[in-house]
Amino acid sequence: MNIKDLENKIICADCLDILKQLPDKCIDLVLTDPPYNASNSKISCIDKHYTTVNEDWDKDFIAKSFLDLCLDKIKDNGSMLVFCSYHTLNQYLCWDKMKLQQIIHWQKSNPFPAIAKVYTPSVEYCLWFVKGSPYTFNKKYSKTDIITTSICQGKERTDHPTQKPLELWQKLLSVHSNENDLVLDCFSGSGTTAIACTKLKRRFICIEKDPDYHKASVERLNEFNRQLTLF
């Protein structure tokens, strides 16, 4: 596979299939938000912008296959940033083929209220794995291991249930990558990685399996690029 044919595109495919075809050691940074069980229930929707996630990915935890496949594709000094919730945190911690450098905490300033009789979840975890040294870490853009933003709202909000805010993605890309680096997102969702990379002059390969989310994310990226040409 010619990697140039995939660059700066959102591909509709299963990431496991695409990963097997990528050349080894071609990726500077993996930044991705795999699906994970948000509620352990069959509830699918409680309002327009909240859908629980309870899929085979969680039940079988084939995420380990995804991690193993990413490992060979990352450059020797590359990194991987993988989001998870407390539901799957322990399973990721058991994966030891890359060094877990740190756990970054995304603190939501306006989290959705909890349905059950539990504390309202306001934190999601970003596991920062490094493959070797020296890895990219632009310290001038980093503060603490807690990044606080609001959840997506207003014009930025799409129909994707687990959309991450552009502000969060830009902060992570600024710290963990440089201009012209190649960034891989195996679960592109709403297309935020593609837009953040475009804004920060990073190359990207984004993969989204769901055809509806893929179509919506391509349209979102195209609209963003159209707006750029206007200014």
| Structure-block tokens of residue 43 | 């509830």
Report pLDDT digits (tens) over 122-175.
999 999 999 999 999 999 999 999 999 999 989 899 989 889 999 999 999 999
DSSP codes, 147-212:
EEEPPS-GGG--S-TTPPPHHHHHHHHHHH--TT-EEEES--TTTHHHHHHHHHT-EEEEEE--HH
Query: Which strand (E) or helix (H) includes residue 224?
Result: helix 211-230
Report pLDDT digits (tens) over 113-122.
988 898 998 9
Which of 63-72, 107-116, 200-209 has the lowest average pLDDT?
Answer: 63-72
- Determine the pLDDT at residue 44: 42
CB-based contacts of 35, cutoff 8 Å, min separation 6 = 53, 55, 57, 58, 162, 187
Higher model confidence: residue 58 or residue 91? 91
Which one-letter amino acid corresponds to residue 103?
I
Rounded Cα distance, 19 and 162, in Å: 23
**Rounded alpha-carbon distances, angstroms, from residue 121 to 41, 110, 140, 151, 212:** 16, 10, 30, 12, 28
- Determine the pLDDT at residue 228: 80
- pTM for this model (two decimals): 0.89
Report pLDDT digits (tens) over 3-49.
889 999 999 999 999 999 999 999 999 999 998 754 444 434 444 44
Percent of the chain beyond pLDDT 90? 71
Rounded Cα distance, 189 and 179, in Å: 23
Average pLDDT value for residue range 80-99: 90
Q: Helix (H, G, I), strand (E, B), or coil: what is residue 66?
A: helix
Domain count, the chain: 1
Q: How does strand 123-130 pair with strand 182-185?
A: unpaired
Which residues constitute the domain of residue 188?
3-230
**Length of the chain (residues):** 231
**Does residue 57 surpass a pLDDT of 70?**
no
Dihedral pair phi/psi, residue 182, rounded to 5°:
-100, 120
What's the mean pLDDT when you consider all of the chain?
Answer: 88
Please list the residues that pair with 198 across neighbouring strands: none
**Does residue 209 surpass a pLDDT of 60?**
yes
User: Any idea what DSSP says for residue 47?
Assistant: B
**In this structure, are residues 178 and 136 in contact, taking their beta carbons and an 8 Å threshold?**
yes
- Determine the pLDDT at residue 37: 53
DSSP codes, 111-134:
PPPPSSSSPPP-EEEEEEEE-SSS
Rounded Cα distance, 113 and 11, in Å: 34
Dihedral pair phi/psi, residue 36, rounded to 5°:
-150, 160
Domain of 24, CATH number, reads: 3.40.50.150
